[in-house]
Structure 1
């Protein structure tokens, strides 16, 4: 059979006689006995296409819309923690766990957005959180 492009398969004109007098033509190798385990060559294990670090990095890149959504969600968490601190201060039951929550919220990595107004707002929220954290830590040291 002869494959001719994408059109399909056609029948070939048949086998051709060997050229020349004593030339070696195509020959099927004679089957050898079944090879045992000792005759099998070693095969290297297939490695992963990407490492785990590369997959994590790909997940973290995200689209601009995804980075914006994560930044806004982070800012919302910081504002929620600040609101909780205000309620705890007014109620007189501020504990070390409240400060830890604020520290974790501020230290959480911030995804960069392409919106300068949003970046400015996020900077203001972070600054306010850092000021409140510093005031509460100073008050805790003085007490």
Structure 2
């Protein structure tokens, strides 16, 4: 059965023969001992370990784009928690879990490598610290 494009499957014609190159014999044959002696030795054991070590080393390298992505995500998380604090204030009851989350996020500060992004993050962090100070919580 053969599938052509998006149409319906069609059947393959039977009775067609497969052409083999001249001199080719069918079947499976084992290589002779003379071919085995000529084969070059293969070092398999240590290359896998070296490749794994280099992969682990590459994962530990801090990529500037990855730092920026983490910093942006942290900024959005801070803004989300601040939005939740605002909603809690309007409802009249601010949850301790939300304030603890804000303290936790403030403790995860790291530079993104981008001056403008770091300045924006400093502004967001200042706003979060002001909100925490209103409730008597002071992050480290």
TM-score by length of 2: 0.53
What are the equivalent positions in structure 2 for 1:83-98 lying under 5 Å apart? 83-98=83-98
**Cα pair distance change 1:115/1:134, threshold 3 Å:** same
Structure 2 residue aligned with 1:66: 66
Structure 2 residue aligned with 1:127: 126
Give the drift of 1:95: 2.0
Larger-gyration structure (1/2)? 1
Structure 1 ranges of 4+ moved more than 2 A = 57-62
- The alignment partner of 2:135 has SS state of helix
Deviates more, 1:100-109 or 1:83-92: 100-109
Q: Quick one: distance in 1 between partners of 2:79 and 2:103?
A: 13
**Cα pair distance change 1:74/1:60, threshold 3 Å:** farther
Structure 1 residue aligned with 2:44: none
What are the equivalent positions in structure 2 for 1:37-76 lying under 5 Å apart? 59=59, 61-76=61-76
Give the drift of 1:127: 1.1
Q: Quick one: distance in 2 between partners of 1:69 and 1:77?
A: 12
Residue correspondences, number: 85
TM-score by length of 1: 0.52
Give the drift of 1:67: 0.4
Q: Quick one: distance in 2 between partners of 1:72 and 1:87?
A: 23
Structure 1 residue aligned with 2:102: 102
Residues 28-84 of structure 1, C-alpha deviations (whole Å, 9 max, x = no match): xxxxxxxxxxxxxxxxxxxx98xxxxx5x8645421111000000001100000000
Give the drift of 1:90: 0.4
